[in-house]
Structure 1
Amino acid sequence: MSITAVPLRPIEKGTLTKLWIGIFLLLAGAAVFAWHATARPIAMNGTAEDFLSWNAGRSGVIETDSGLQYQVLEEGDEAGSPGAGAGVIVNYEGRLIDGTVFDANEQQGLPLDGVITGWAEGIRLMSRGARYRFWIPPALGYGEDPPPGSPIPADSVLVFDVELIDFISREQLMQIQMQQMGLGGQQPEGAAPGQ
C-alpha cells in the first residue's frame, strides 16, 4: 500500500487579512443585530425618555420642537388645517405604549382648546381626511397628574391614532353639541356663551 502525499499550497498574500476582515464584519453585523433586537424591549420597559429616543429613530417618525412625535399614516386633502380655537370632528384611539387602550371615539366633536397640549399641537398639523399617529411625551400630555380613575400611569407616553374628519369654528361645534344633547341649539340656562 502506498500513501500519496498531497502538497498544500501556501496561503496567498492578503488571504489571511481578508479572513480577519470577514470575521470582523461578521462580528460587527452580529452586534448591530443584537442591539436592534434588544433596543425595542429596553425602550418599551424603560423611561418615557428611553422610549421617545428610540421611537424618534424609526422610519417615518417626525419630531417637533416641543417633543411631539408623529407619523403620517394617510395624507389629507391639503385644504388647510384647524386653527388654535377651532372645533374638530375626529375618529381616534388613545393607548399606552404597551397597547392598553384608554380611550376611543368615532365622529367625536372636540374644541382644540379643551384637549391636552400635545394632541392639540398634532391636530393642527393635519388637514381634512388625514390620519396621523401621535406619540405624546408626558410634558405635553398628563405628566404626573393623569385623570383620576384612568388607566394612565403618571409620566406616560400617550399614543393616539387620529383621523381628522372635519374642522369647524368653536361656535359651530357648540351648536352641534347642544343639538346632540337635545337643546335644539338653545343656550342652557346659566351657561356663558362659548362654554
Structure 2
Amino acid sequence: MTEITRVPLQPIARGSLTKLWLGVIAAVLLGAGIAWAAAPKGVELTEMTAGTGANPTAEDVILVNYKGMLADGTVFDQGQGVPLPLQGMIPGFTEGALKMQKGGKYRMVIPADKAYGAEEKRNPMTNQVVIPANSDLTFEVDLIDFMPAAAFEQRMQAMQQMMQQQQQQSGGGGGGGGAPAPGAPPR
C-alpha cells in the first residue's frame, strides 16, 4: 500500500480569520458600489396628482399638456392638448408615459442616455442650440387621454374629411351670388 504524503496544517494566528472575513466583505461591498454607480439610471417619475384607470401602451397616442425643461429650469418646449405617438418619442419619455394614468399630473426626469445622449438639438429656424448634448431633461406632464394609434388615425382622417367638406361648401361659391347648392331653397 502506498502512503499519502501528509502536509501539516499550520495554526491560524489569533484574529486572522476575522480579518480575512472583513476583507471579503469589504471587497463585495466595493464591487457592489462600483456596479451600482456604473448602472444606467432610469427615468424618475413623480406623481403630483393621481390619475385613474389603465396605463397607456407603447402603441398608443397620448393627449397631453406638457412643459419640457433643462436641468437649470430653462424651458425648451411646451404644448397644450398635444397628441404624441409613444412609438415616436425618446425612449425615456415613453418609459415614463407607460407608468401614467389618465387625468394624472406627473414630473418626469429623463437621464441624458434615455433622451438625446451626445446629440444636441437645434431650432431649425434659428439654428440655435435648444437642448445641449448630454442633457438630462425634465417634463411636467398632464395626461388628458390616450387611445390606440389606429383609432387616432381614424379620428384624424374623419376630421380631415369634415374640414374638406366645409371648405367645399363655404369656399366653392366665391362669396355668394351664384346658384344655390343642390337641394338648398332658392334665395
Cα distance, 1:174 vs structure 2: 2.2
Could you say which residue in structure 2 is the equivalent of 1:170? 149
Change (3 A) 1:175 1:118: same
Distance in 1 between residues matched to 2:50 and 2:153, nearest whole Å:
28
The letter for the 2-side match of 1:151 is V
Could you say which residue in structure 2 is the equivalent of 1:73? 48
C-alpha contact 1:93 1:160 (8 A) present in aligned 2: yes
Q: Does 1:125 align with 2:99?
A: yes
Cα distance, 1:138 vs structure 2: 0.6
Cα distance, 1:175 vs structure 2: 3.2
| 1:1-28 Cα shifts (integer Å, max 9, x gaps) | xxxxxxxxxxxxxxxxxxxxxxxxxxxx
Could you say which residue in structure 2 is the equivalent of 1:14? none
Could you say which residue in structure 2 is the equivalent of 1:154? 133
SS of the equivalent of 2:101 reads coil
Percent identity between the aligned chains?
A: 36
SS of the equivalent of 1:142 reads coil
The letter for the 2-side match of 1:136 is I
RMSD between aligned residues = 2.3
SS of the equivalent of 1:92 reads strand
The letter for the 2-side match of 1:147 is K
- With structure 1 as the length reference, what TM-score do the two structures score? 0.57
**Structure 1 alignment gaps of length 5 or more:** 1-52, 54-64, 187-195
Distance in 1 between residues matched to 2:163 and 2:150, nearest whole Å:
11
C-alpha contact 2:50 2:103 (8 A) present in aligned 1: yes
SS of the equivalent of 2:153 reads helix
Aligned counterpart in structure 2 of residue 111 of structure 1, from 85, 108, 113:
85
The letter for the 1-side match of 2:42 is G
Cα distance, 1:170 vs structure 2: 0.1
- With structure 2 as the length reference, what TM-score do the two structures score? 0.59
Q: Does 1:144 align with 2:118?
A: yes
**Structure 2 alignment gaps of length 5 or more:** 1-36, 124-128, 165-187
C-alpha contact 1:144 1:155 (8 A) present in aligned 2: yes
Distance in 2 between residues matched to 1:141 and 1:185, nearest whole Å:
36
Distance in 2 between residues matched to 1:140 and 1:179, nearest whole Å:
35
Larger Rg: 2
